[in-house]
C-alpha cells in the first residue's frame, strides 16, 4: 500500500479484509451516508454547474471541484446529481478523506483501479468507468497543479 | 402523469404502476425483482419482498462474454423462488434501464410473463412508499427452463454487418457525445472500453432516456414516443430494427419501448454494442 496516500492505503487495507459482498456493500453504504462532508457548498458552486466540472461517462452525474489550499495542497468537493448514485457518493467521500490536504505528488499517482479494490471486481463495466472517472478527475487536478509549479 | 392504460401503448399490460405493486406485495404468484446499475441500492433498502437480480453476478456467464445458459437460469429462478407461472415484476434505478435489461434476458429464456414497474425505484421512493433492508427468503423452486433462444430479439455482429450493408435501420441510444466518438478521446480518463469512437454507419442517434420522463422515470405516452422515434427519426412499426449502446443495457430499454409500448414486431438488441464494434478490425465506422 506504499504507493497510495496514507489515508487511502488504510481504506484499501480495510476493504481488502472484506471478502463478503454484503459486508462490503454495508460498509460502502455507511460511507455514502457521510456524503454531506464531501459535497460542494453554495459558496463554491451552484446549479447548473459548469460542464468543465462534470465527470465524463459517469451515469450518476458526478461533478468534482479542486480548491487550492495555502499550503499548496487541494481540497476536493463533489456533487452527485442522481440521488440514487450511492457508489459515486461513497467514492467521493473516500477521495475527500484521502486526498484533500494531501501532498499533490501523492494524489497525482493514485491509480484509477482503486475502484475495483474498493467496490470489488464484480462492479459492472459502465459503473466502473464512471467511478474511475471520478478518481481520474481528482488525480488530474493534482497533476495540473504540479505541472504549473514546474 | 396519466394512467398507464390511457397513454396509448400497444401493450399497456407490460407495465404496472407503483400502486399496483403496493397492492400485490404479498401475492404469491408475483415475484418483485430489483435490478440496478448501482449495486449499493438494493442493500440500502428495497421494496418489501423484492429479490435482487444482479446483472453482473446473476445474468452473465462468469467466463465468456455471454449470458447464462439454461442450467444457470434454472438455478437463478430456483434461488429467487420463481416458477414458469410466476409473474416477474422488474424495477430499478435510472429509469429502469437495468430492469429492462434483466427483463430482456428473461425473454431470451422464454419467461415472457414479465412486467416493468412504471417509474421504477425513483417513483417508489418519491411517493414515500415502504422500503426495507430485510432480504426475503423464498422456498427454492423446480424450474424447467427452455434453452436460450438468441434468434428473435438478440443481434450478433455478423447480423449487424449485414444489416448495415442492407441499409436497414439501426438505433444508437448512447449520448450524442458517444455517438460522435468524443468521449473516447478525452485525455486522462478511462476510455469507454473501445479502441475506436463513432457509430455504426447509418445508425440514428436517439438517446435512450428520451423515452422517460426525467422527473419520475415513468415512460412517455405513445404519442410522445412516436414523436421521438417516428416523426423525429423516421422509424416505422414494421421496420427491422437493431438497437445498440455500449454493452446493451441502455438499448434494452429502447427495445422494450419499441417492442411493447409502440408495438414494433422486429426489434433486436445488439448487446455486443460499441464495446464490440469499436474494437473489431476492419468494420465500417462513421463519425
The CATH number of the domain holding residue B41 is: 3.40.250.10
- What pLDDT score was predicted for residue A28? 97
Residue B133, in any domain of the structure: no
Whether B58 and chain A come into contact, CB under 8 Å, resolves to no
Which residues of chain B from 160 to 219 reach within 8 Å of chain A, CB to CB?
183, 186, 188-190, 192-193
* B46 inside 8 A of chain A by CB: no
Q: Which A-chain residues 90-129 have CB contacts (< 8 A) with chain B?
A: 90, 112, 119, 122-127, 129
Segments forming the whole domain that contains residue B15 = 4-126
Give the burial string for A75-112 (b: 16+ CB within 10 Å, else e): bbbbbbebebbbbbbbbbbbbbbbbbbbebebbbebeb
Please give the Cα distance from B125 to B158 (Å, whole number). 42
CA distance B222 to B284: 34
> Is B176 inside any structural domain?
yes
Cross-chain Cβ contact B189/A59 below 8 Å: no
Q: Does B176 score more than 50 pLDDT?
A: yes
Residue B132 lies in a domain: no
**Given a cut of 80, is residue A45 above it in pLDDT?**
yes
B202, B170 in Cβ contact below 8 A? yes
Nearest-Cα residue of chain B relative to residue A26: B43
Shared domain check, B161 and B107: no
* Pairing state between β A62-68 and A74-80: antiparallel
Q: Are residues B117 and B207 in the same domain?
A: no
Give the burial string for B225-235 (b: 16+ CB within 10 Å, else e).
bbebbeeeeeb
A56 contacts chain B (CB < 8 A) = yes
Tens of pLDDT, residue by residue over B182-210, are: 865 445 555 567 889 999 999 999 999 99
- How many Å apart are CA B42 and CA B135, to the nearest integer? 9
Q: Based on the domain organization, do B115 and B183 belong to the same domain?
A: no
**Overall average pLDDT of the B107-125 stretch:** 98
Cβ–Cβ below 8 Å for A82 and B94: yes
**Integer Cα distance of B200 and B28 in angstroms:** 45
Nearest-Cα residue of chain B relative to residue A22? B43
DSSP state of B88: E
Average pLDDT of the residues in B210-224: 97
The yes-or-no verdict on residue A1 having pLDDT over 60 is no
Mutate to test the interface with A, among B34, B35, B36, B39 (most CBs of A within 10 A): B39
Q: Does B57 touch chain A (CB under 8 A)?
A: yes
Task: Please count the structural domains in chain B.
Answer: 2
Specify the CATH number for A6-149; select among 3.40.1190.20, 3.90.1010.10, 3.40.50.300, 3.30.470.20: 3.90.1010.10
| The domain boundary residue, chosen from B103, B126, B149 | B126
One domain for residues B169 and B71: no
CA angle, B13 as apex, B214 and B96 as ends, to 5°? 30
**Residue among A96, A108, A109 at smallest CA distance from A146:** A108
Out of B37, B38, B190, the one facing A112 most closely (by C-beta) is B190
Residue B145 in domain? no
Classify residue B88 as left (phi > 0), alpha (psi -120 to 50) or beta: beta
For chain A, give the mean pLDDT: 93
Does B81 fall in a domain? yes
User: Could you tell me if B247 lies within 8 Å of chain A, comparing CB atoms?
Assistant: yes
CB pairs under 8 A between A and B: 79
Residue A121 confidence (pLDDT): 84
Test B189 with A136 for CB contact under 8 angstroms: yes
ipTM of the complex: 0.89
CA–CA dist B35, B22 (Å, integer):
18
**pLDDT > 90 fraction of chain B, expressed in percent and rounded:** 91
Q: Classify residue B118: in a domain, yes or no.
A: yes
Q: Do A25 and B121 touch (CB under 8 A)?
A: no
pLDDT more than 70, % of chain A: 99
Provide the percentage of residues in chain B whose pLDDT is more than 70: 97
Residue A74's DSSP bridge partners are A68
φ, ψ at B202 (rounded to 5°): 90, -10
Query: Is residue B260 over pLDDT 70?
Result: yes
Residue B138 in domain: no
Looking at CA atoms only, how far is residue A45 from chain B in angstroms?
Answer: 23
The answer to whether residue A126 scores a pLDDT higher than 90 is no
Contact B280, B194 (CB under 8 A): no
The residue from B108, B206, B245, B261 that is catalytic is: B245
The conformation of residue B237, written as its DSSP 8-state character, comes to: T
**A83 to chain B: which residues are within 8 Å by CB?**
122, 125
Indicate if the pLDDT at residue B104 is higher than 80: yes
The answer as to whether B140 is a domain residue is no
Determine whether the interchain pair B39/A123 forms a contact, defined as Cβ–Cβ distance below 8 Å.
yes
Closest CA to A88 of A41, A127, A52: A127
- The answer to whether the CB atoms of B56 and A124 lie below 8 A apart is yes
A residues 5-44 lying closer than 8 A (beta carbon) to B: 22, 25-26, 28-29, 32
Rounded to the nearest angstrom, the minimum Cα separation between B188 and chain A is 7
Interface membership of B246 toward A (CB under 8 Å): yes
Q: Is B63 on the interface with A (CB under 8 A)?
A: no
Q: Kindly state the average pLDDT of the residues B255-268.
A: 98
Would you call B100 a catalytic residue per the annotation?
A: no
Using DSSP, state whether B184 is helix, strand or coil.
Answer: helix
Amino acid at each position: 500500500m506504499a504507493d497510495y496516500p496514507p489515508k487511502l492505503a488504510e481504506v484499501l487495507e480495510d476493504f481488502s479484509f472484506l471478502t463478503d459482498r454484503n459486508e462490503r456493500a454495508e460498509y460502502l453504504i455507511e460511507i455514502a451516508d457521510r456524503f454531506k462532508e464531501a459535497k460542494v457548498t453554495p459558496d463554491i458552486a451552484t446549479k447548473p454547474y459548469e460542464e468543465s466540472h462534470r465527470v465524463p461517462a459517469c451515469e450518476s452525474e458526478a461533478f468534482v471541484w479542486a480548491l487550492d489550499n495555502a499550503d499548496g495542497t487541494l481540497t476536493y468537493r463533489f456533487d452527485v446529481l442522481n440521488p440514487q448514485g450511492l457508489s459515486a457518493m461513497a467514492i467521493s467521500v473516500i477521495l475527500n478523506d484521502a486526498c484533500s490536504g494531501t501532498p499533490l505528488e501523492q494524489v497525482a499517482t493514485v491509480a484509477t483501479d482503486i475502484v475495483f479494490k474498493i467496490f470489488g471486481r464484480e462492479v459492472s463495466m459502465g459503473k466502473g468507468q464512471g467511478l474511475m472517472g471520478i478518481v481520474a478527475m481528482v488525480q488530474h487536478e493534482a497533476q495540473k497543479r504540479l505541472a504549473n509549479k514546474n | 402523469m396519466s394512467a398507464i392504460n390511457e397513454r396509448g401503448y400497444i401493450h399497456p399490460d407490460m407495465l404496472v404502476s407503483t400502486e399496483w405493486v403496493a397492492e400485490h406485495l404479498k401475492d404469491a404468484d408475483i415475484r418483485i425483482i430489483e435490478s440496478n446499475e448501482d449495486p449499493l441500492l438494493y442493500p440500502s433498502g428495497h421494496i418489501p419482498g423484492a429479490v435482487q437480480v444482479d446483472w453482473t453476478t446473476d445474468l452473465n456467464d462468469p467466463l465468456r462474454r455471454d449470458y447464462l445458459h439454461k442450467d444457470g437460469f434454472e438455478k437463478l429462478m430456483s434461488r429467487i423462488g420463481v416458477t414458469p407461472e410466476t409473474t416477474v415484476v422488474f424495477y430499478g434505478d435510472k429509469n429502469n434501464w437495468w430492469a429492462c435489461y434483466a427483463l430482456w434476458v428473461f425473454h431470451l429464456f422464454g419467461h415472457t410473463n414479465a412486467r416493468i414497474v412504471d417509474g421504477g425505484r425513483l417513483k417508489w421512493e418519491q411517493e414515500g412508499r415502504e422500503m426495507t433492508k430485510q432480504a426475503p427468503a423464498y422456498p427454492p423452486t423446480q424450474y424447467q427452463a427452455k434453452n436460450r433462444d438468441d434468434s428473435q430479439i438478440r443481434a450478433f455482429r455478423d447480423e449487424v454487418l449485414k444489416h448495415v450493408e442492407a441499409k436497414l435501420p439501426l438505433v444508437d441510444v448512447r449520448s450524442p457525445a458517444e455517438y460522435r466518438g468524443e468521449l473516447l478521446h478525452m485525455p486522462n480518463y478511462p476510455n469507454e472500453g473501445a479502441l475506436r469512437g463513432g457509430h455504426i454507419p447509418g445508425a440514428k442517434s436517439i438517446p435512450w432516456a428520451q423515452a422517460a420522463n426525467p422527473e419520475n422515470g415513468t415512460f412517455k405516452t405513445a404519442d410522445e414516443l412516436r414523436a421521438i422515434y417516428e416523426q423525429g427519426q423516421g422509424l416505422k412499426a414494421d421496420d427491422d430494427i437493431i438497437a445498440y449502446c455500449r454493452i446493451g443495457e441502455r438499448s434494452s430499454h429502447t427495445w422494450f419501448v419499441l417492442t411493447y409500448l409502440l408495438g414494433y414486431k422486429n426489434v433486436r438488441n445488439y448487446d455486443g454494442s460499441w464495446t464490440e464494434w469499436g474494437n473489431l478490425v476492419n468494420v465500417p465506422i462513421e463519425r
